[in-house]
Structure 1
């Protein structure tokens, strides 16, 4: 099968004799241990579809690294230490761990990074031990790849995978200069990919953009070139998104593809390499593996209103999704092949069309799936019920804040009271919402947080945020692209600059995370917010506030404190007023709703009721709207 037939791409030249290629696709640390890499799982079938590719194997070096550390430390350092680095607050710790494998060893406790990070409060005890082990691991992996006779080794890089991947590329070149090294992934988008290529000669090629559009063309050229040489410059210059070196050894950067890959032309991911490696690992006893499925790419919300702080989609914002037929088939194949019921969608935002087709179809299947999606937080309870019935157990709704003003500064397209409503409704339908509370946005005020903090004890029965964090400046975000939005760029992370031995401007081009002058509320206000959230987290377990319909009455059971209480609303007007707050309404809106139902009342009377219930923490009030807090009721 030709490249053109496989992806529906323009014709690829087939002149001249070919040589068979063996391709290795490597996922280095610090990719998550609990799920496959969509990049290498998808590109392996792309490569195998080319008739001149003899083999395209995936290597989960992230899992093997966790095993290596576990074995060398007698089990003292394991998957939990790995996870702390992946999830850690201190930028570039994972990069630093692998820096000796690229630059040569120096005593970790004497390194500038160690001094700066520990001086800021970081505990690098486990990381320093890993640092001492990284060179040996990279060397062994390079030896294995060379012994395997691979002609091309591709590495995918996102977040802290740069240094491990660069170290492997260097080790491969030292052992066998004929091995062609290729790097791609989110860290190679736009100027980042060009900077990595020009600064690290161990990288023969860097792919900018979606690999499905670039890798087959590159492999085609390599298969027709001498293993000791390079393809003709004219041919390389015609591959969109490719960074390469010409006859004069000068780096060349091709324009990134403007086209995006249609999702139904992307092959089904091959996850077998991940599960084979995971099941053979000794260090992952506490890790629960999951199937990962890619339904869509890009962000349909970001196409309309790019959230000011978000840089996740880079230059590939255009949203597209696979058909529900494709997704159902891929889930079924993966679940049957790997005997896993936990399925994580890699999509940055769920295709809203899935509510109409995919999810109802999954609900009909006799499978006990536990699905994860990223969603927008303004979904109604009817839509959440569709998710729950399909087996969605967890969502990441991007709540970020409970203040409408701050959310508008973010361009989230949702209000604070809608976010509270979502938390309530998620509890009602038993879907867990994972979220963080962000602050530090230009234009926010202390008043934006005072009203929210005062009401947080009313939410103890709902899922609290996992943490409170100042917004970080990231490449590709509107804050990064438009200084006029008010977040002042102070340059790349100071910690990252202590890892890369490059001029500051080159580190800036490689970086995704940047330092910025603090904006928005003061740290003292942020500490009050953080303390209130900590109290929420400490008091959440076992708390509930439930409304139970009893004929035409409502029984409200309040177990948010140690002194549980119950109250029954029997007056039809009171019941109608309370139910009118389920969607979130102003006092005037509630009044219109209940009078339309035939109840006689005034806005003054309704306001008095709402304020009474707010004082009892039955309602959340924000941006002029009252939202009922008890779980257990529908509102659509």
Structure 2
């Protein structure tokens, strides 16, 4: 990954690749670095399809993949996949700060002004406190050996030259419009740098930006940061982009600089041009990369968040767009079409949350076997049948908002679930071999020690269940209730991360900042010893998960065997026989009744006492679990959880 060994002659190949990718037309949409190299930017390719259906020619240039081809995938992914954290959250932005804003590239710590050096030192100390609790994988991304200062400067110079090469290549094509699709904060400075360079060479071209990042007031920030930007599109832009294409082509009056959203009926939004994406990716990164790394494609079944329409999670910063969804028959038809085009690809739903009736509506259409495996985002439901239906519907992966196992803390977040429901869901997903991704979040306004210290006892008992991707401090994000209603949550002295000073000019930071620091009471932030102990347990969980298990199997009619290999047993297997009546009680989530079997299960760590409930953590094969689990929630299901958490 050492850039000093990098062959800068690869920059000369960029012009050739651009020539191979572009054809000229009405508009060019750029996908700036640092978008993830193996992920499809679904919004841009949807605009391409819509424009084509209305007689317009739109090209897409994945500048992100071009830079990855120059830097090398390992180095590029090391930056693009870095988890956001205060001390290094602007690494990607910093690499393009000189191109975008003519900012100096010297190390800020080399500043000769002692007051500046002291301020930088204090900022770094404050940020290091906020960085506590990240996973070992995250640490590896952020450890100083990942990029030395010399390597960083070399990458920065490469990015500076790269922008000029790309812009020069684009200038050979007479596009009327050149735009940048910005999904992540890591793309902002690269977008501005590219637009500035293009506008310099093509003064008459209309330069626009849009995407999910251009909202919550940042639209004005873009216009202030980059006079080369003519228009900023806010919110869904399918209709407004078409109108803009028409106005520019035919000399009609243009909209104001900030273009508000005009909603296109959701069912009329066509599938993105998957073929164009795969062809572009193969041209830049090679067919082998497409086959090996592009394992999933995005599909958009809905927009908005129906839960946020009712109750917005306190730290959530998603768009305010009202929830909309496609008809289930349209979803089935479109998924089947994707399956025919790309039979070896899985589908990830590009959405915020799956609506509760989706699986029941979708399941009858899955028997034909013509639909792809699905990855979805869901709200936790304490319903074993729901998990079984997910599996039957071809769901291989879920991103779930578990966040924690403390019901009190979940209420602070307004998550609409309980700790016991989260743990039960985790057990059930493991039993049905459904992949699950989740984060253990800490450091909330008003939290108490009791909302965390239970983890010291809990975590060693569940090392056989899927661990969190990371233990992550809650971050104050623009657009979230914590930022918009900071006084309500007793958050004071709200201000952007100091590290933004290395990414944006001083007068523009407030306009563009996406993350903030603030002062608020938090037991977790004040108890470093407790959080350090929990963090160590999470690390041990992640380390031993692959070899750990707590499983129930049948070994004779009416008799079962518990196989236990967890940290609590020092990773040595223990086998314990139980009879059917015991197995039923041990495998079922019920109100705690002080029964001898429940008490024994609690002593052995086969179940966890949470909020007055016995929560089982033993896994089993799906058929056996469905047979033995007689949880109360199998009758009450999710209406009970909604009632309890409001």
Match of 1:181, SS? strand
Q: Could you say which residue in structure 1 is the equivalent of 2:585?
A: 577
Q: Could you say which residue in structure 1 is the equivalent of 2:133?
A: none
* Residue from 382, 404, 408 that aligns with 1:405: 408
Bigger RCO (CA 8 Å, 6+ sep): 2
* Root-mean-square deviation over aligned CA pairs: 2.6
Q: Could you say which residue in structure 2 is the equivalent of 1:22?
A: 26
Question: Could you tell me how far 1:314 is from its partner in structure 2?
Answer: 2.2
Match of 1:193, SS? helix
Q: Structure 1: how far apart are the matches of 2:85 and 2:475?
A: 14
* Residue from 156, 172, 179 that aligns with 2:181: 156
**TM-score (norm. length: structure 1):** 0.82
Deviations 1:74-103 (A, max 9, x none): x8x544424444667721211111112213
Question: Could you tell me how far 1:414 is from its partner in structure 2?
Answer: 0.6
The answer to whether the Cα contact below 8 Å between 2:475 and 2:516 also exists between their aligned partners in 1 is yes
Q: Could you say which residue in structure 2 is the equivalent of 1:96?
A: 94
1:191-340 equivalent positions in 2, closer than 5 A:
191-225=217-251, 231-232=252-253, 236=255, 243-244=256-257, 253=258, 256-257=260-261, 260-282=263-285, 285=289, 287-311=293-317, 313-316=318-321, 318-340=322-344
Match of 1:186, SS? coil
1:165–1:491 CA distance, 2 compared to 1 (3 A)? same
Question: Could you tell me how far 1:21 is from its partner in structure 2?
Answer: 5.9
The answer to whether the Cα contact below 8 Å between 1:291 and 1:335 also exists between their aligned partners in 2 is no
Question: Could you tell me how far 1:469 is from its partner in structure 2?
Answer: 1.2
Match of 2:213, SS? helix
Unaligned runs of 5+ in 2: 1-23, 112-116, 129-141, 635-646
Q: Could you say which residue in structure 1 is the equivalent of 2:510?
A: 508
1:77-88 equivalent positions in 2, closer than 5 A:
78-85=75-82
The answer to whether the Cα contact below 8 Å between 2:28 and 2:61 also exists between their aligned partners in 1 is yes
Unaligned runs of 5+ in 1: 1-19, 226-230, 237-242, 245-252, 589-603
Aligned length: 561
Question: Could you tell me how far 1:260 is from its partner in structure 2?
Answer: 4.1
* Residue from 494, 497, 500 that aligns with 2:498: 494
Q: Structure 2: how far apart are the matches of 1:101 and 1:391?
A: 46
The range that moved more, 321-330 or 163-172, is 321-330
Deviations 1:218-243 (A, max 9, x none): 22211221xxxxx53xx62xxxxxx5
1:171-210 equivalent positions in 2, closer than 5 A:
171-210=197-236
Match of 1:515, SS? strand
Q: Structure 2: how far apart are the matches of 1:149 and 1:86?
A: 38
Question: Could you tell me how far 1:408 is from its partner in structure 2?
Answer: 0.7
Q: Structure 1: how far apart are the matches of 2:456 and 2:310?
A: 31
Question: Could you tell me how far 1:339 is from its partner in structure 2?
Answer: 4.8
Question: Could you tell me how far 1:417 is from its partner in structure 2?
Answer: 1.1
Q: Structure 2: how far apart are the matches of 1:468 and 1:476?
A: 23
Match of 1:443, SS? coil
Q: Structure 1: how far apart are the matches of 2:204 and 2:313?
A: 44
1:87–1:338 CA distance, 2 compared to 1 (3 A)? farther
The range that moved more, 174-183 or 347-356, is 347-356
Deviations 1:159-198 (A, max 9, x none): 2111111111100110010111010012211411122113
Q: Structure 2: how far apart are the matches of 1:49 and 1:571?
A: 62
Is residue 467 of structure 2 the alignment partner of residue 473 of structure 1?
no
Deviations 1:187-224 (A, max 9, x none): 21141112211332110111111111321122221122
The answer to whether the Cα contact below 8 Å between 1:29 and 1:164 also exists between their aligned partners in 2 is yes
Q: Could you say which residue in structure 2 is the equivalent of 1:433?
A: 436
Q: Could you say which residue in structure 1 is the equivalent of 2:394?
A: 391
The answer to whether the Cα contact below 8 Å between 1:355 and 1:387 also exists between their aligned partners in 2 is yes
The answer to whether the Cα contact below 8 Å between 1:154 and 1:183 also exists between their aligned partners in 2 is yes
Q: Structure 1: how far apart are the matches of 2:267 and 2:105?
A: 50
Is residue 552 of structure 2 the alignment partner of residue 547 of structure 1?
yes
